Structure 1
Amino acid sequence: MNQPEVVEKDEVKQEQDSLEFQLFRMQENMKKIAKKNEIISIDQTNKGQWVIIYSHKWKNKFQIMLHDCSSPYRGKWDGAIEATYKDQHTLHIADIKGEKNKGYGSVLMKYIKEIAEEANVQSITGDIAKRDFDHMERLKHFYWKHDFDMKIDYEEQFGEIVW
């Protein structure tokens, strides 16, 4: 009867070791990232992975990036979202990049919405390009999950999103 307890303790120990490792990486990565970028936050993906959220801003354009704390930071992001202010009321997403099905896009979307709200931006827009039509079902699910409306022209292979 004690066998399940031993397994549970081993699992808890492994989880604790993993968390300690991620926290160590997070501390080291934040030092490197902060040298050239503004750190926005530390967050977790829907899969429980700790990530560092940071940004780089230009005049009317910015990029929000994400680095997964399971690996050392070597100057490259694991996920990114680029956006431009079309005017004082509209933010336009140029691109979302990163490995699929890691939860990175959802974390990045959370922060672009926060930035929009802080800047009193009323809408976020974006285009769906021809290159996106090979994963349209995944895009529809993603944007629906984040409260975006979509207009899709399947014949012309073009679309728009609006939040």
Structure 2
Amino acid sequence: MTKSAFLQEVKSKDELKEELDELEIQLFRMQNNIKEIAKKSEVISIDQTPNEEWVVVYADRDKDTWQLMLHSCKRTYQGNWHSALQAEVKDDSTIHIAAIKGEENKGYGSVLMNHLKEIAKEENVQYITGDLVQRDYGHVDRLQYFYEKHNFDVIVDHTEKCGEIIWNDDE
């Protein structure tokens, strides 16, 4: 590595202080957010997005439906999630994703998907399924990339503008 390349990688004291201050703020908010979220929902995890944003993952689950939600620690929790994954329990072996909602391109969907697969494994659920419907077709390429990244088989019918996704824990 050249000296100029090394100097470009070294952060100034001001940059490091700014990062540390941001981290302290996120940790303070995390503590308060968890207290508030835990009053209503099951806190599943504290996680980090690919761009190092701390998030609280929490769930509301009953016999037939699961909703995994995520709240960014960059903001104070005020009763609303930043992203949510809604799923239906079809039977003992299958969960069906009904919707993934929220802010896009922040890594939130990936954090929620990883936790859904983890919970499915803990509950001995073998399959996670979902449908690609016509309203999704404007961003079907992005959805296909997302699901394939998470080891789903993705079948798209471009003629009918629909498709399905299947994740199998045995694979």
Which TM bucket (shorter chain)?
over 0.9
Do residues 135 (structure 1) and 135 (structure 2) align? no
1:46 to 47, 50, 70: 50
Q: Is 1:30 the equivalent of 2:34?
A: yes
Count of equivalent residues: 160
| Secondary structure, aligned partner of 2:135 | helix
Which runs of at least 4 in structure 1 moved beyond 6 Å after TM superposition? Answer: none
| CA distance 1:7–1:117, shift in 2 (3 Å) | closer
SS at match of 1:121: coil
TM-score between both structures, scaled by the size of structure 1: 0.94
Alignment deviations for residues 114-153 of structure 1 (CA, whole Å, 9 cap, x no partner)? 0100011111000011111101111111011100011111
Match of 1:146 among 143, 147, 150: 150
Distance 1:111 1:97 in 2: 15
| Equivalent residue number for residue 92 of structure 1 | 96
Does residue 114 of the first structure (1) align with residue 118 of the second (2)? yes
Pair 1:75 & 2:79 matched: yes
The residue aligned with 2:25 is 21
State the partner residue of 1:59.
63
Identity fraction in percent: 57
SS at match of 1:137: helix
Report the aligned-residue RMSD: 1.4
* CA distance in structure 2 between the partners assigned to 1:95 and 1:132 by the alignment: 11
Aligned-residue offset at 1:9: 1.1
